[in-house]
Amino acid sequence: MIPVDFDGAAPALVAEAQIEENMAAAGYKPPASYATFARENGGKRYSGPNRFVRNLDSGEPIGLSTVYHYDPRVPLYSVQDIREQVAGLLPEGLFPIISTEFGGEVCLDYRGGDDQPSVVLYDYEAQEGREIGRLAPNFPAFLEAIGPRPAD
């Protein structure tokens, strides 16, 4: 992955404990390996034509864009900023973690009250009733689906 171009300071690496605290403050428990992924990749953009995951419902490839970060000094692409922007747009229980190439949200899906949420796509432009598509049954399966891939 490559860093996102930021005006001013780029997001700093944030301790995994801080990511866990941030999610707990929002009422969520991070799934296995999410805090490590967010720490290492927050503020980075997927590059190249092979940065996609398939929608399990439609088979459509979903291009990934930017991994949201947890550095409170840099609002651009921060989880806090994105959650404020999408408040009232995303269904309750969806926690955005990555943007897609076309402005959708890859989210952890806590609607089932699970400690191991599935990973879904929320597509703002989809037909009513089809806004949410399954990407992986859990976060480790999502990581397996997206990588590892060589750097571009």
pLDDT the model gives residue 150: 46
Alpha carbon distance 94, 112 (integer Å): 10
The contacts found for 4-7 with CB under 8 angstroms, 24 or more apart, are 4/43, 4/44, 4/45, 4/66, 4/76, 4/77, 6/43, 6/74, 6/76, 7/76
Convert the pLDDT of each residue in 124-139 to its tens digit.
Answer: 888 888 899 999 999 9
Q: Write down the pLDDT at residue 152.
A: 41
Per-residue pLDDT, 137: 96
Q: What is this structure's pTM?
A: 0.90
Q: What's the mean pLDDT when you consider all of the chain?
A: 88
The pLDDT value given to residue 48:
65
Q: How far is CA 34 from the centre of its chain?
A: 10
Which of the given ranges, 8-17, 89-98, 142-151, has the highest pLDDT on average?
Answer: 89-98
Q: Give per-residue pLDDT as tens, 60-81.
A: 999 999 999 999 999 889 999 9
